[in-house]
Amino acid sequence: MRIELSLDAIADAAYDTSAHHKLRGRIWKALEDVDEYAAAHDTNRGVGFAFSNIYPWGDIETGDQRYLRIASPQRSVLDDLVRHFGRDRTFDVGQMRFEIDEISGHAPDVGEPGATGVIDTATGVFCALDRRLAEEHGLDTTKIDEGDSETKLFWRPKHGLDPLQETIRRSLQRTHEQHGDDYYTGPAEVDEPLFESVEPIKDDVTYAIHFQPATAVDRTVILSKWRYGYRVRDETHRYHLNLALDAGIGQRREHGFGFVNLINQQPPRAETS
């Protein structure tokens, strides 16, 4: 489930490519009056939402129309956001200033078992490997050893795809345990892969950006963007893929990373006799 905000620019501005923290702050402003969400703020538990960049990219002129998507596996989160944005149409993200024009709801679905399709990451996937995961995959932990206790190893192509995909599975498993449907088995509790194919969107695979998780903290993080192909095996796999659409993939999703879109979907082929 997701909502899309149609935004009217009310001032000229340069596009801020590192506005993750400010954009997250505007979304949190819409949730701060709800005790349940306030208690989850700044915890590892989180509320369970992901959001796109403001798009399309590029410098902004007064009168331009831009868009933002916010997804969540919790319908109540989206309902509360719609109520807030319906009352408060101001949407300022640093120097980028907008008014909300329209709010629409969407429920993308990967399709019934046998359906095929492609999902891609609209924002970069954040994957920082901790010592345990690095050692499980036989990776050099020298950079972790040389850093402080919070230092983790950002995934790079030289590490191979396995630790990246395992991080995505584990992150989605936590979302399943916190916000998912108990009727289904979690994505890390099945042997089959989440996706059938994977290819990088960027030629250099990874790229670096500045990231401010808090006002006084300025970091450089390494991200990657991917296009994933899938074939829905069964209803449980359908649930896993739709959960990824609702919650994003990878780490730090509530900070603006790992938002995914359904690019195309083909229904199951009819069997011929």
Q: Active-site residues: which are they?
A: 41
The secondary structure of 117-173, three-state, reads EEEEECCCEECEECHHHHHHCCCCCHHHHHCCCCCCEECCHHHCHHHHHHHHHHHHH
Distance CA 170, CA 62 (A): 43
At 94, is the secondary structure helix, strand, or coil? coil
Residue closest to 38 by CA, chosen among 177, 30, 13: 30
* Amino acid sitting at position 165: Q
110's CB contacts (< 8 A; 6+ apart) are: 117, 119, 230, 232, 238, 241, 242, 245, 262, 265
Q: How far apart are the first and last CA of the chain?
A: 38
Distance CA 226, CA 210 (A): 20
Distance CA 117, CA 217 (A): 39
Distance CA 114, CA 196 (A): 12
Distance CA 219, CA 151 (A): 12
Give the H or E element holding residue 81: helix 75-87
24 neighbors 211 (Cβ within 8 angstroms): no
